[in-house]
């Protein structure tokens, strides 16, 4: 179906997201479409809307329809292109069917089926900053990925920044954001950001490569099991990735961020009685906004690795075959090569190696097969497949 949209008019996302179902499903079944397709509004006003509606389409063989449960298995991934941060979660709350339960249709005897569905991704990604920026949205279903649907989060009427002259002026004068601290900090032997035995070579073109042992065995009473991800990449480099010294502290810098947070809390305390729950809510909002500022690179932070010359975000997302609740590993990879800020190369190469079972929520990989994907801005790579099995299963006759 090439780049055909599932929803022609953005207004339909809010009123009748599956309006084209009767037109699209029979035609695409006849054309033999298989796979995932995603559509999202081209623009969402963050002041007027508190939802992120998505419309998806899944064309599958008879076997795939038996294996995959859309209400249970679909994962939504959102990448903020400016900061290259990525968030991922199950698209639907466990044990809850999507709004307007989708139907399955197939020509007689073909075994193929298709489902169209609508969902709101906003409540599933509560940590996604609801602030102006550009998102690349994708769906994952085991070893399948949808196209990327782009959504611009804006504020109010279409801004003057749409003027090409204004865009050029801002590009020239706007100060770049700051890189986030290296994570995880390197240790011996792992994690490391140097190549190790089995590390793949960086790709010749822009991309990410990850090497995993196909099967990892949990041994009872023996050494702890490991599931080591060895990765390399060639990714775009921008001024915001460069490690820079702490700028002079001014009223609009780091102190102001925290001062505004404190001020908001103080206003709440002064304006409302102590027992009013709005006091706590206002303080939470201020604290959350300060954390978002840091995550978006709007405030300076020591990157934690004195040898780093730049920091590149790469997020690993693993979806399990038995338990699809995703494992999300937000790497901040240091670049150790000397870089001249006046002559930045268009891309840089880097490495990472870490034990996925030692990261937060790494237990999600245990006793199942997992498909791992890697994201950095517009770049997506995968799936890279691995499995963690118990030794008792290996010995079973």
Instruction: Identify the band that residue 265 occupies on the pLDDT scale cut at 50, 70 and 90.
Output: very low
Lowest mean pLDDT among 49-63, 94-108, 223-237, 374-388: 94-108
What residues contact residue 89 under an 8 Å CB cut-off, 6+ apart?
75, 76, 124, 125, 326
Tell me the mean pLDDT in the region 168-191.
Answer: 85
Q: What is the pLDDT of residue 397?
A: 58
Q: What is the pLDDT of residue 69?
A: 86
What residues contact residue 69 under an 8 Å CB cut-off, 6+ apart?
none
Instruction: Look up residue 303 and give its DSSP letter.
Output: -
388 compared with 1, residue with greater pLDDT = 388
Query: What is the overall mean pLDDT for the chain?
Result: 85
| pLDDT exceeds cutoff 50 at 359 | yes
166 compared with 226, residue with greater pLDDT = 226
Lowest mean pLDDT among 171-180, 252-261, 339-348, 388-397: 252-261
Q: What is the pLDDT of residue 143?
A: 95
Q: What is the pLDDT of residue 218?
A: 81
Tell me the mean pLDDT in the region 350-360.
Answer: 96
Q: What is the pLDDT of residue 103?
A: 44
Instruction: Identify the band that residue 326 occupies on the pLDDT scale cut at 50, 70 and 90.
Output: very high
| pLDDT exceeds cutoff 50 at 114 | yes
What residues contact residue 139 under an 8 Å CB cut-off, 6+ apart?
36, 38, 54, 56, 74, 75, 76, 77, 91, 145, 146
CATH numeric code, 207-243+305-395: 2.60.40
315 compared with 254, residue with greater pLDDT = 315
In DSSP terms, which residues pair with 211 in a beta bridge?
A: 230
- Report the distance separating Cα 53 and Cα 216, nearest Å: 39
CATH 2.60.40 residue window(s) in the chain: 12-160, 207-243+305-395
| pLDDT exceeds cutoff 70 at 57 | yes
Q: What is the pTM of this model?
A: 0.84
**Long-range contacts of 283-288, Cβ-Cβ distance < 8 Å, separation of 24 or more:** 286/260, 286/261, 286/262, 287/261
Classify domain 12-160 at the CATH topology level.
Answer: Immunoglobulin-like (2.60.40)
Structure-token match 């044990």, residue found: 95
Q: What is the pLDDT of residue 3?
A: 74
- Report the distance separating Cα 131 and Cα 265, nearest Å: 20
Highest mean pLDDT among 155-159, 213-217, 245-249: 213-217
Tell me the mean pLDDT in the region 72-85.
Answer: 96
Q: What is the pLDDT of residue 112?
A: 83
Q: What is the pLDDT of residue 263?
A: 43
């Amino acid at each position: 179906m090439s780049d055909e949209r599932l929803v022609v008019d953005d207004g339909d996302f809010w009123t009748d997201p599956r309006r084209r179902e009767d037109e699209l499903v029979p035609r695409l079944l006849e054309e033999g479409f298989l796979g995932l397709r995603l559509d999202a509004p081209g623009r969402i006003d963050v002041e007027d809307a508190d939802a992120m509606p998505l419309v998806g389409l899944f064309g599958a063989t008879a076997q795939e329809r038996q294996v995959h449960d859309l209400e249970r298995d679909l994962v939504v991934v959102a990448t903020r292109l400016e900061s290259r941060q990525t968030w991922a979660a199950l698209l639907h709350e466990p044990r809850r069917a999507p709004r307007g339960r989708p139907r399955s249709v197939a020509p007689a005897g073909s075994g193929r089926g298709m489902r169209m569905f609508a969902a709101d991704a906003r409540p599933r990604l509560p940590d996604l900053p609801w602030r102006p920026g550009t998102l690349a949205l994708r769906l994952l279903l085991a070893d399948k990925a949808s196209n990327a649907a782009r959504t611009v989060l804006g504020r109010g009427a279409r801004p003057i920044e749409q003027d090409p002259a204004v865009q050029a002026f801002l590009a020239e004068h706007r100060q770049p954001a700051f890189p986030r601290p290296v994570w995880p900090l390197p240790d011996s032997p792992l994690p490391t950001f140097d190549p190790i035995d089995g590390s793949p070579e960086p790709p010749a073109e822009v991309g990410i490569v990850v090497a995993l042992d196909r099967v990892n065995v949990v041994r009872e009473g023996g050494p702890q099991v490991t599931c080591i991800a060895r990765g390399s990449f060639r990714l775009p480099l921008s001024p915001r990735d460069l490690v820079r010294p702490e700028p002079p502290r001014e009223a609009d810098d780091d102190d102001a961020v925290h001062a505004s947070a404190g001020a908001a809390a103080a206003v709440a305390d002064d304006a409302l009685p102590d027992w009013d729950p709005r006091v706590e809510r206002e303080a939470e909002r201020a604290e959350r906004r300060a954390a978002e500022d840091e995550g978006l690179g709007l405030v300076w932070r020591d990157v934690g690795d004195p040898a780093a010359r730049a920091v590149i975000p790469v997020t690993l997302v693993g979806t399990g075959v038995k338990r699809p609740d995703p494992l999300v590993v937000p790497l901040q990879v240091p670049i150790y090569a000397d870089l001249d800020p006046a002559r930045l190369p268009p891309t840089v190469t880097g490495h990472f190696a870490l034990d996925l079972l030692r990261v937060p929520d790494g237990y999600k990989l245990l006793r199942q097969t997992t498909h791992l994907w890697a994201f950095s801005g517009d770049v997506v790579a995968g799936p890279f497949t691995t499995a963690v099995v118990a030794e008792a299963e290996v010995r079973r006759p």
